[in-house]
Amino acid sequence: MMAVAPHGNAKPAPAVSPQRVGVLLVNLGTPDTADAAGVRVYLKEFLSDPRVIEDQGLLWKLILNGIILRVRPGRKARDYQKIWNFEKNESPLKTITRSQAEKLAEAIADHEHVVVDWAMRYGNPSIRSRIAALTAQGCDRILVVPLYPQYSAATSATVCDEVFRVLADMRAQPTLRVTPPYYDDPDYIEALAVSINAHLASLSFQPDLIVASFHGMPQKYVDKGDPYQAQCVATTESLRKRIGLDASKLVLTFQSRFGSDEWLQPYTDKTIEKLAKDGVKRIAVVTPGFSADCLETLEEIAQENAEIFRHNGGEQFSAIPCLNDSDPGMDVIRQLVLRELQGWI
C-alpha cells in the first residue's frame, strides 16, 4: 500500500526508536542512614502506608507522630548499627539487592535488549526513580519483580500500588507485567533445601529441630482475606516434604509483631523461649519469607532470638542465611524472570 504524504504543514510523526525490556527487582526498603534521623524518615513512609497499617485515622496519626516517631527511631537505629555495612554505608538489604540485580543482569546478558535495575518500596532508590531510569533507556515494557516469595497486601500489593501511582503520572506508559509469588515453586523449595543442608553440614552441632520463621501480620488482615498465612504454610509443608522432616522437627512461626493487636501465631520469640525451657538445647532458624538478609533476620533472629534461646537454657543456636545472591538463590530469580518474560524475549 502506498504511503500517504503528510498533509499541508502537519509535522511528521517522530521516528520509533528500538525498544528495550526492563526488569525491576523490588524489595521492602531500608533507611538511608543508621541514625535516628534516617530511621525516622524511613518509618514515617513505611507506617504511613495504608497497606501496612490499614487504619490511618486520626488516632493512628497521633500515635505515629506523637509517640512512635519520637521513641522508636533511636532504638531501631541502634539495631541497624549492629548489622550495618559500614564499608558501603548502607544496610545489608541494599547491598544484597544490588548484587542480585547485577548477577541477574550477568546471567541473562545474552538478551541484549533487557535492562535490569533494582529499587526499594520505601526509601532509596525509589520505584519512581528506577522506572524513570528504565524508560529513559528506551524500555517500553517493564517486568516488576517483588522479591517476596509469599504474597501479602502489605508487601507485594503495595509494590504494585506504587508502580501504578508512578504510571498514572506518565503520558507514555510502559507495558507492565508483575511476577507472581513463588512460595511453592519447585525451584524455590529446592534452593531452600540446598541452602539449609549446606548450612547444617557446616555446623559443629546437629540441631534438635529447625524453626521456619516468617514475618508476621495482624490476624485481622488474614481474616479479611489476605492469602499470606496459607502461602507460608504451603512453603513450610513443601520444605518439610523435600528435606524429610515432620512438623515436630520443622516448626512454623511468625516474627516481628508490632502494636497491641493479635498477630499470626505461633510467635517466633515465644516459641523459641518455650523450646529452650522444655529442654531443647540446639536449634537452627531459617527465614523462608525473606529473599535477602535484613534487620529482621540478622538482628532480630540471629541476635535477639539467639539471646532469648540461650537465656532460657538453650545452648547452640544458628541462623541460616537467606538465599540472598547465592547460586541457588539467583537460580530462583533467574528462572522466575525468564519464565515471566516469555513472549517479550
Same-domain check for residues 170 and 247: no
pTM score: 0.93
Same-domain check for residues 119 and 103: yes
pLDDT > 90 in the chain, percent: 93
Helix, strand, coil percentages (3-state) for the chain, rounded to 5, are 45, 20, 35
CATH number for the domain including 65? 3.40.50.1400
Same-domain check for residues 103 and 172: yes
Give the position of cell 520469640: 269
Q: 290-304: per-residue pLDDT in tens? A: 999 999 999 999 999
Same-domain check for residues 28 and 111: yes
Residue 260 is predicted with a pLDDT of 84
Same-domain check for residues 152 and 221: no
Residue 8 is predicted with a pLDDT of 54
Same-domain check for residues 223 and 286: yes
> Residue 19 — pLDDT band, cuts 50, 70, 90?
confident
pLDDT at 2 over 50: no
Cβ(182)–Cβ(332) under 8 Å? yes
* Domains: count for the chain: 2
Q: 238-250: per-residue pLDDT in tens? A: 999 999 999 999 9
Q: What's the domain range around 295?
A: 186-319
Same-domain check for residues 26 and 175: yes
Q: Find the mean pLDDT for residues 316-323.
A: 98
Please check if 215 is assigned to a binding site: yes
Q: 270-297: per-residue pLDDT in tens? A: 999 999 999 999 999 999 999 999 999 9
Residue 16 is predicted with a pLDDT of 52
Question: Would residue 7 count as lying in a domain?
Answer: no
Q: What average pLDDT does the chain have?
A: 95
Question: Would residue 15 count as lying in a domain?
Answer: no
Q: 75-102: per-residue pLDDT in tens? A: 999 999 999 999 999 999 999 999 999 9
List CB contacts of 257: < 8 A, sequence separation 6 or more: 216, 263, 267
List CB contacts of 149: < 8 A, sequence separation 6 or more: 181, 182, 183, 188, 231, 235, 288, 289, 291
Distances in Å between the Cα of 247 and the Cα atoms of 23, 233, 240, 241, 253 are: 38, 11, 7, 10, 11
Q: 188-214: per-residue pLDDT in tens? A: 999 999 999 999 999 999 999 999 999
Question: Would residue 231 count as lying in a domain?
Answer: yes
pLDDT at 151 over 50: yes
pLDDT at 10 over 80: no
Distance CA 276, CA 84 (A): 29
Residue 121 is predicted with a pLDDT of 98
Q: Find the mean pLDDT for residues 5-31.
A: 76
Same-domain check for residues 258 and 332: no
Beta strand pairing status for 139-146 and 114-123?
unpaired
Distance CA 263, CA 50 (A): 17
Same-domain check for residues 163 and 289: no
Question: Would residue 272 count as lying in a domain?
Answer: yes
Q: Find the mean pLDDT for residues 179-185.
A: 98
Q: 37-87: per-residue pLDDT in tens? A: 999 999 999 999 999 999 999 999 999 999 999 999 999 999 999 999 999
> Residue 259 — pLDDT band, cuts 50, 70, 90?
confident
pLDDT at 187 over 70: yes
Same-domain check for residues 148 and 215: no
Same-domain check for residues 248 and 306: yes
pLDDT > 70 in the chain, percent: 95
Q: Find the mean pLDDT for residues 126-139.
A: 97
